[in-house]
Amino acid sequence: MLTVSATALDGVKVIVPAVFNDSRGSFCETYNRDRFFKHGITLEFVQDNESVSAPRGTVRGLHLQKHPAAQDKLVRVTKGSIFDVAVDLRRSSPTYGRWVAEVLSADNGKQLLVPVGFAHGFCTLEPDTRVVYKVTSYYSAENEVGIAWNDPDLAIDWPVAPGEAVLSDKDARLPPFASLPPVFD
């Protein structure tokens, strides 16, 4: 079985696959197209990505790709835990500029579905955290866009102080939300 729950932002969903435990350990079906389709999630994933972040407090994001390479993402954690964030960038949406967050961990098995029209980012809550995510479009450097993770206009309640966050040089230079041109109308 599969549990799919809506969030405060239309389209962003929390997915919890069933876990079957026995004396050997556990088994979990993390993705099954037919089961997802029964819940109205009719996406065609084309690429799987994986990141490993050594220090706690690593922030990756906020990232997205614009059309024609826009991506839906299905995010899960196989080791450790993250504070996972989706920001609504659909200009016509009543929740434009709002965000939702969910703690995803290897222990809780939750997954976050981040649809096209949202920026995505996360902060690691434990050292050596491994994040795996499926996407519906291939990576495209020329269509890659980002916004500053700690933008005060977004006011995301990150679990790390700005001076303690571990960022890539690229993520540290992302522009503010207010300078983002219309990406998703």
CA distance 70 to 53: 24
Coil/strand/helix, residue 18 = coil
Residues catalogued as catalytic:
63, 133
Residue with the two structure tokens 């079906």:
29
Sign of CA dihedral 138, 142, 148, 151: negative
Looking only at the bridges linking them, the beta strands covering 73-79 and 81-88 are: unpaired
CA distance 59 to 150: 10
